[in-house]
Amino acid sequence: MRYFVELSEEEERNLFYSPPVSFTNRSPKEELAYALGAALYMPATRTTIASEIITGKLKGLITAIMDLEDAVGDLQVEAAEAAVVQHLARIAMALESGLLMHDRLPLLFIRVRSAEQMKRLLEQVHDSAHVLTGFVFPKFTPDNGSLYFEILDCFNRGRQQGEPPLYGMPVLETAAIIYRETRHQVLIDTKSLLDRYRPYVLNVRIGATDFSSLFGLRRSPELTVYDIAAIRDCIADIVNVFGRAEDGYVISGPVWEYFESGYDRFALAPLRDAVLRDTLLPELGLPHHHYRTEDGLSAFMREIWLDKENGIIGKTVIHPSQLRPVQAMYAVTHEEYADACAILANSDGSIGVIKSEYANKMNEMKPHYHWARKMVTRAKIYGVLNVQQRYTALFREQGYARL
């Protein structure tokens, strides 16, 4: 797979200083963790999953999660499991026959209800497990998490030589994590568990919908998850525990649970934060009339931006129209890339600080080193935009916006 493959050669040259690289489920774990991008949830009962993946019908799809949990009714579980087995078998046959090339296979995951269900599925899909990238573990806790990773470890140790490993992605979304009196210890215990199985932990995901339900809340489409105080505080603690530079866990942003027909249909919402208004909107290159004092970006776009600023990489989405906005926002600007490269190139101890290539900031070697490493990895996956290009150019090229 490769981001923005829909662009023509001319469009790619115009947009990118350094285009995105290709990757598959056999790529290094460090790259795959960044490559997940916008992960599209699809109910496992959806009959068209295999055909859409084989034909490439869903433009821009890089990561797909077949959901056996909340998106499937309790009375549908058996049928949904059978559907997953059939989906994977069809995809595996398409790869074997050449109908689907391996470099066009999205990163595929199954969101399971329990460790027992995961074990049962692995036994049934063993011959087609190589098309998977891994599993999503909902409502993950230190108590139920060990069994998930024990099963994963057992499968990976027994897989055939040359087959890709399967990874796990825990979802943090339980009451013990959102409730303040238990949060700290549960996060520490969860991290201790993940540290033991670190080679198989691809991503740590945040389940804001379940968090909200515990308070009887549901954010409106005009607000970001960061506007909900209890959720914002919990995300801050998750980032504090799992996002530390020395640990290197990649954290994925919570789902945006509303959908529209395209980027240009996301209504502009009030943007009350003057700092965000004055920095974010010009950076995105929106025309002047789009950032009057009383207007702002849609909450969806603001939430992606705030995810990024908090060190979060990627996001769960529920509609194909949301794929490109998330993906585009993770492309790296030329200024960011130039700063990152300069920092890494001068981190041998011979110098402590240098003026940026754009002459608008100071780049400090030690404080900015970890940021620079992350930026270069992101640049490899999502590409580096040309000097005068902004994120919105990626929307315009594919009709996501009429700006």
The domain that contains 178 carries what CATH number?
A: 3.20.20.60
Decide if 368 is inside a domain.
yes
Whole-angstrom Cα distance, residue 291 to residue 282? 8
Q: How far lies 222's CA from each of 256, 266, 287, 297, 326, in Å?
A: 12, 10, 21, 10, 17
- What is the helix (H) or strand (E) element at residue 17, kind and residue range? strand 16-18
Decide if 149 is inside a domain.
yes
Total count of domains within the chain: 2
Decide if 387 is inside a domain.
no
Check if the beta carbon of residue 147 is closer than 8 Å to that of residue 120.
Answer: no
Indicate the DSSP class of residue 303. Answer: H
Decide if 15 is inside a domain.
no
Nearest to 91 by CA among 105, 109, 112, 111: 105
Q: What pLDDT is attached to residue 161?
A: 85
Q: What pLDDT is attached to residue 280?
A: 53
Q: How many CB atoms lie within 10 A of CB 101?
A: 10
Check if the beta carbon of residue 102 is closer than 8 Å to that of residue 74.
Answer: no
Q: In 16-141, where does DSSP find H-type helix?
A: 29-35, 49-55, 77-97, 115-124
Q: Are residues 371 and 301 part of one domain? A: no
Q: What pLDDT is attached to residue 70?
A: 86
Q: Are residues 365 and 314 part of one domain? A: no
Whole-angstrom Cα distance, residue 359 to residue 327? 28
> In the chain, which stretches have pLDDT less than 70?
260-297, 396-403
The region, left, alpha or beta by phi > 0 then psi within -120 to 50, assigned to residue 162 is left
Whole-angstrom Cα distance, residue 153 to residue 199? 10
Q: What is the pLDDT of residues 196-227, one digit of tens each?
A: 999 999 999 999 999 999 999 998 888 899 99
Q: Are residues 192 and 225 part of one domain? A: yes
Q: Which domain holds residue 99?
A: 23-267+297-330
Q: How far lies 263's CA from each of 267, 309, 392, in Å?
A: 9, 21, 10
Q: At what angle do helices 180-196 and 229-242 cross, to 10 degrees?
A: 30
Q: Are residues 345 and 309 part of one domain? A: no
* DSSP string computed for 145-204: HHHHHHHHHHHHHHSPTTPPPPEEEEEE--HHHHSHHHHHHHHHHHHHHHHHTGGGB--E
pTM value?
A: 0.89
Structure tokens at 186: 């549960």
**What's the helix, strand, coil split of the chain in %, to 5?**
50, 10, 40
Q: Are residues 320 and 369 part of one domain? A: no
Structure tokens at 118: 């995961």
Q: Are residues 122 and 33 part of one domain? A: yes
Longest alpha-carbon distance in the chain? 65
Whole-angstrom Cα distance, residue 104 to residue 40? 16
Q: Are residues 254 and 116 part of one domain? A: yes
Q: Are residues 106 and 189 part of one domain? A: yes
Q: Are residues 215 and 352 part of one domain? A: no
Query: Which residues, in sequence order, are CB contacts of 44 under 8 Å at separation 6+?
Result: 66, 67, 68, 71, 72, 80, 81, 83, 84, 87, 110
Decide if 291 is inside a domain.
no
Whole-angstrom Cα distance, residue 238 to residue 206? 8
Decide if 12 is inside a domain.
no
Q: Are residues 343 and 321 part of one domain? A: no
Decide if 257 is inside a domain.
yes
Decide if 391 is inside a domain.
no
Structure tokens at 268: 């502009």
Q: Are residues 364 and 319 part of one domain? A: no
The region, left, alpha or beta by phi > 0 then psi within -120 to 50, assigned to residue 169 is beta
Q: Are residues 243 and 165 part of one domain? A: yes
Q: What pLDDT is attached to residue 104?
A: 94
Residue 44 class from Cβ within 10 Å (0-12 exposed, 13-18 middle, 19+ buried)?
buried
